[in-house]
Amino acid sequence: MTQTKAKTRGGIMVILHRVAILFTCAAVFYPGFNPGRITTEISRYTSLLTSCISYKSLVGNIGRALSRGWVQASTFRLLMAASAVLLIGIILAAIGGCMSVGNDRMRFYGARFPLIGSVVMAVGLVLINVAHGQIVAAGNDRVPPNVSMGFYLFIVLTVLIFLTSLAILFLNGKKEDLSESKMGMKEEYHLFLLFLPILALAFVFSYLPLWGWRYAFFDYSAGQELSMENFVGFKWFTYLFQNSATRADLVRVIKNTLAMSGIGIVTSWLPMVFAILLTQINSKRFRRTVQTFTTVPNFLGWVIVYAVALAIFSTDGFINNFLNNILHIKAGTNYLMDNSHMWIKMWLWGTWKGLGWSAIIYISSISGIDPMLYEAATIDGAGRFGKIWNVTIPQLMPTFFVLLLMSIAGILSNGLDQYLVFENAMNHDAIEVLDLYVYNIGISNGLIPMSTVVGMAKSLISVTLLFSANQVSKSLRGESII
């Protein structure tokens, strides 16, 4: 009875302990939480980790202030050292955090690390404060001192880690019955710790960007700080539709997107036909050669495809040379600057690049079809086309159906590369798809909130489409596609 009670008490402490350590570790990487931003002149994009390992990035914006003697270089050396001390403390805490998932004995001994670590962190924070004091003392307006949110955050975290490790030491330590004689860890937690780095990376690169959706609600341009002053609510959402210029742009872009994806979907049976026709040919050598050469373009990037396009279709490209030299027709058109039939042309490039590759999946499926089915068809007197129509195509339908649903779900995502490389002043209006539009307004023109709104809408619609497609697949075939 008493033991369970002790365990629960310890349990809450241990969870708090781990959360504090986990959060501290995460804050190391995030510039917004850098406790060492002692002056607003330090870049907003410098994290605690960066300040520890790169003096160059730390003083990147302060070069002039240093050379003019507005502030002392020693201050920043001190800051760097202080950050390093802080980081050492955090590493100690992290070791303890990992050990806290072990058995009682391991947790008990492990708690010493964060205890020492939090003291080291406190030293680091004091040193940062000293550096901050030097900036204040320098008293130069052009290097204004700053106490960042991260500084307070780290004070809180340090105290929390100190107290929780102390608590673990006392709660477990008072009882002398640490039943296990050896330190150890349950297999399930050990495996989890091994998997943790993978999860952390997935979190940082896939989930953390979602936090960037907040820019959609602010009046923000690159380099500014987000604050409640420039919070604008849903302004950008309504702006997209109320401003006639952006509305027209949006309509045009959506039209391009749906048209080009639409052409792709309507012709998505082509790879299947390609595969069926190719498998009709007897010579294995011939089939193999065709397959090898027609799949190569798929493995070349869109920049290369554009280079090829230039070599063939530009003013001094192959087509014009051929007309001039072989057919003796005077020619000199740059076909790539032409604005007509852009949708079809983009589809043709996509088909040239991808048809052979998309057919492979069908070719493999065809070779997996049960020979009995063909034999039965032969007995029934079916010829070549009869067999294709009654055996091959029905057998390929499930694959076709899945791929079709996937392409419908991805109707808004044409990708960026193809349209970006082929875009020029002449064809801009007809080639701009949603992905390119987001790139153009967000990255090229710096309209961050507006492009975030468009990107957000696109992501949400795409996910909805995907799940609807999945539902359709489930109800029709009883199988999910994701």
The residues, any chain, with a CB within 8 Å of residue 330's CB and separated by 6 or more, are: 323, 324
Site for another protein in 329-348 (CB under 8 A): none
- 394 binds another protein per the rule CB under 8 A: no
Phi, psi of 71, deg, nearest 5: -135, 160
Q: Nearer Cβ to another protein, position 5 or 330?
A: 330
The residues, any chain, with a CB within 8 Å of residue 133's CB and separated by 6 or more, are: none
Site for another protein in 180-199 (CB under 8 A): 187-192, 194-195, 198-199
- 445 binds another protein per the rule CB under 8 A: no
Structure tokens at 50: 């960066």
The residues, any chain, with a CB within 8 Å of residue 296's CB and separated by 6 or more, are: 356
Contact pick of 140, 268, 324, 407 for another protein (by CB under 8 A): 324
The CA distance from 482 to 467, in Å, is 9
Contact pick of 79, 412, 416, 431 for another protein (by CB under 8 A): 416
Site for another protein in 265-284 (CB under 8 A): 277-282
Site for another protein in 102-141 (CB under 8 A): none
Contact pick of 182, 285, 299, 425 for another protein (by CB under 8 A): 299
- In the chain the first and final C-alpha atoms are separated, in Å, by 48
Of 289, 295, 277, 298, nearest in space to 396 by CA: 277
Q: Nearer Cβ to another protein, position 201 or 344?
A: 201
CB of 162 to another protein, least distance (A): 27
CB of 208 to another protein, least distance (A): 5
Residue span 425-444 as binding mask against another protein, x where in contact by CB under 8 A, dash where not: ----------x--xx--xx-
- 392 binds another protein per the rule CB under 8 A: yes
- 321 binds another protein per the rule CB under 8 A: yes
- Given a contact cutoff of 8 angstroms between Cβ atoms, the answer to whether 46 and 159 are in contact is no
Contact pick of 8, 242, 292, 468 for another protein (by CB under 8 A): 292
Q: Nearer Cβ to another protein, position 169 or 363?
A: 363
Site for another protein in 3-32 (CB under 8 A): 29-32
Residue span 148-187 as binding mask against another protein, x where in contact by CB under 8 A, dash where not: ---------------------------------------x
Q: State the Cα angle at 97 between 94 and 99, rounded to 5°.
A: 115
Q: Nearer Cβ to another protein, position 238 or 378?
A: 378
Site for another protein in 37-56 (CB under 8 A): 45-47, 49-50
Beta carbons within 10 angstroms of residue 352's beta carbon: 15
Of 245, 246, 249, nearest in space to 429 by CA: 249
- Given a contact cutoff of 8 angstroms between Cβ atoms, the answer to whether 33 and 149 are in contact is yes
Q: Between the CA atoms of 434, 435, 440 and 443, what dihedral angle is there, to the nearest 10 degrees?
A: 140
Looking up tokens 């990376």 gives 201
CB of 163 to another protein, least distance (A): 26
- 371 binds another protein per the rule CB under 8 A: yes
Q: Nearer Cβ to another protein, position 245 or 327?
A: 327
Contact pick of 152, 383, 445, 474 for another protein (by CB under 8 A): 383
Q: Nearer Cβ to another protein, position 428 or 458?
A: 458
Contact pick of 239, 265, 417, 428 for another protein (by CB under 8 A): 417
CB of 458 to another protein, least distance (A): 7
Region binding another protein by CB under 8 A among candidate stretches 4-12, 111-119, 162-170, 360-368? 360-368
Contact pick of 116, 183, 270, 308 for another protein (by CB under 8 A): 308
Q: Nearer Cβ to another protein, position 127 or 355?
A: 355
- 475 binds another protein per the rule CB under 8 A: no
CB of 372 to another protein, least distance (A): 9
Contact pick of 74, 224, 340, 378 for another protein (by CB under 8 A): 378
Binding residues for another protein, total number by CB under 8 A: 115
CB of 380 to another protein, least distance (A): 13
Site for another protein in 195-234 (CB under 8 A): 195, 198-199, 201-202, 204-213, 215
Structure tokens at 420: 């970006």
Q: Nearer Cβ to another protein, position 160 or 421?
A: 421
CB of 142 to another protein, least distance (A): 24
